[in-house]
Chains A and B, each alone.
Chain A
């Protein structure tokens, strides 16, 4: 903490560990009474070095590592990576695979948005909303489990297509589940968008404006709540979105105006949930027959990928915004470089400009508004209170530590 900050008076730490946060991230706000005068954000509490680990795995294995970048949107990392590798190899997945990709991606969006809505309810002390929303969310989780056998890490994407087909029988069950789900979500929409308390706590809270949103390059629902019709699904027509005639929703389509605040963000997310349910239904109905992968076996794909050279990116609209995966290949079974740019990095930093002027009670709503997903960090800071030391853990120190550990392990052998 610098001297300049110290003069600002009382500071309140929200994080890295705080009841309002589900993942470690450090918001620090400086307050005068209840009013926030300054805010600062710190990442770096959960560094996992996942890109480096990825560079040691082969093209197939890395897909299932990518899935574990995030605890919620596993598909949103697996799919763009598969896309990037496909574009390296210049392979197009078959149509049926593209439709299945839409189904999985949209089911994931539904469960992510429902989760967010519950978290918002919890942040404003409205736990009933949390439990109702998550009750509805369970139906999506069941649908995902039906398709892939798993609730969160579906392992559905592979190079050149998907790994599991959606059979006729599964499709019928899914369609029935979707009707149920739609009813639940519509009830929730009617409650959330008109409940007096939700209005009091979200309207005007976390207000950006269109210029600020453009300047900070806000992503996903955060951009769409400001009226910026930006969505990779619409702009790029990835997978089968182009065939399905997808058009992104902005706040004014739902509530009549682009509020740029937490209420607009809520409205956009709820409307997107309903849109996703319809997309899944359309994709299931219009799904063409045919193979689900361009390659008969993963090993064929791996052999082909090992001959690829050059660099490629894969883009996808995750529930939180645009995810970009960059890979560079050099005729090897492993990537030379793999880089992930998640939308939360941008969206979370943008809150820094929005905190001042709000009350402490709004801080948690603002912090939750971008649906922060803490995936990318770089370092750790060790503070030794007894000795009054602060030390940044850097690469050299970590290398030294790991060498020491290796020697220990070798000693046992």
Chain B
């Protein structure tokens, strides 16, 4: 299992798995979104058709675009793919021995930066405005994520390792200590808000804002380049939700059923997919049906006035309570 080749193959499988379910969830999301608006909606496989069709189209480079224009999509999809190999999906993640939470945080920020780069390199006013907005978003959403993740690591009794598995072993929401459960709930809010900001739907859809800036950073992208951004987004949609499940609801199927061997592993993957889908449904589909898009200034003030203080307070509380020995 630890030979390089098998790790590479396993990582590739994990990437394909995340991409497939990312696109599938996107399709289901669009369908449910449409049904909630009393529309029929696109076929569930529409995102697959979109990506396949885009991949077969010619590449158009706008006049005045810098060389980064062609590199940014590759950068984006590669980062997203790496992310997919780091986050467990019901099974152990392929690269779990090669990095911890810090790597995941970096990869998440990198993927967003690739979008900023691509937008800034396309030389269109819509894209540059979109890139600026994306930067504001990154600054706003990454702080609560960082604080929440570190606090989660502190809350777990092991404390020494910043590894996802260590946190997964002691989910705060299911702790015996009620104080930890409360803290876990606050951190869940922080991480879910990060997720909403990271995939940019509903209130945080400011960066693409079709009716305002015509697609923002992606305004000039078409064909295979756009397909790469779409695939990256699908992976991030899946991996982000998957991360939330891993951090807060990591229970496997063995609490309900007494399965063994490959059957248990298969069951765990299915169970994980179900939980991930629920997160996607609540944080993406339901949320974007209920709300429209905020202004970028309102988004920034929402995060800096409410979400970041919330996570900071829970973080400080965690430190104080821990030093007092209460938790």
Contacts and interface: CB of A to CB of B under 8 A. Distances in A.
Interface in A215-247: none
Given A131-B37, A131-B39, A361 B295 contact: yes
Interface stretch (B125-133, B146-154, B179-187, B319-327): B125-133
Contacts of B202: 125
Contacts of B39: 131
B159 interface: no
A126 B294 CA distance: 10
Given A12-B125, A200-B298, A359-B297, A123 B213 contact: no
Interface string B278-305: 0000000000011111111110000000
Interface residues of A, number: 32
Contact of B129 (A12, A125, A200): A12
A156 to B, nearest CB: 30
A18 B129 contact: no
Interface string A353-389: 0000001111110000000000000000000000000
B295 A201 contact: yes
Interface string B148-178: 0000000000000000000000000000000
B210 A19 contact: yes
Given A11-B125, A19-B214, A128 B289 contact: yes
A364 B293 contact: no
A34 B292 contact: no
A124 interface: yes
Please classify how large the interface on chain B is, using the bins under 10, 10 to 19, 20 to 34, 35 or more: 20 to 34
B203 interface: yes
B36 interface: yes
Contacts of B293: 124-126, 201, 361
B140 to A, nearest CB: 14
A131 B132 CA distance: 31
A12 B126 contact: yes
Contacts of A198: 292
Contacts of A13: 125
Contacts of B308: none
A129 interface: yes
A359 B211 contact: no
Given A12-B129, A19-B214, A125-B205, A200 B38 contact: no
A135 B298 CA distance: 30
A18 B297 contact: no
B325 to A, nearest CB: 42
B28 interface: no
B251 to A, nearest CB: 34
A20 B212 contact: yes
A20 B211 contact: yes
A356 to B, nearest CB: 16
B101 interface: no
Contact of A12 (B209, B213, B291, B295): B213
Interface in A9-40: 10-13, 18-20, 31, 33-34
Contacts of B37: 127-128, 131-132
Nearest to A127: B37
Contact of B206 (A12, A129, A131, A361): A361
Nearest to A12: B125
Nearest to A359: B295
A9 to B, nearest CB: 10
A187 to B, nearest CB: 13
A121 interface: yes
Given A128-B289, A359-B296, A31 B214 contact: no
B213 A126 contact: no
A56 B8 CA distance: 77
A94 B298 CA distance: 56
B294 A200 contact: yes
A400 B295 CA distance: 50
A13 B126 CA distance: 9
A364 B290 contact: no
Contacts of A125: 202, 205, 209-211, 292-293
A212 to B, nearest CB: 23
Interface in B10-57: 36-39
A122 interface: yes
A128 B290 contact: yes
A197 interface: yes
B211 A34 contact: no
A332 B296 CA distance: 60
B129 A362 contact: no
B297 A34 contact: yes
A34 B294 contact: no
Interface string B99-120: 0000000000000000000000
B6 to A, nearest CB: 46
User: Which 9 residue pairs of A and B lie closest in terms of their CB atoms, listed nearest first?
Assistant: A126-B292, A125-B293, A131-B37, A20-B211, A125-B292, A361-B295, A124-B292, A12-B125, A19-B210
27 contacts: A12-B129, A19-B211, A20-B211, A20-B212, A34-B132, A34-B297, A121-B292, A122-B211, A124-B211, A125-B209, A126-B291, A126-B293, A127-B37, A128-B37, A128-B290, A129-B292, A131-B37, A131-B39, A132-B37, A132-B38, A197-B291, A197-B292, A198-B292, A201-B294, A361-B209, A361-B212, A361-B296
Interface of B: 36-39, 125-126, 128-129, 132-133, 202-203, 205-206, 209-215, 289-298
Given A124-B293, A200-B295, 17 more contacts: A10-B128, A19-B211, A33-B132, A122-B211, A123-B211, A124-B211, A124-B292, A125-B205, A127-B292, A131-B39, A135-B38, A201-B293, A201-B295, A360-B129, A361-B206, A361-B296, A364-B212
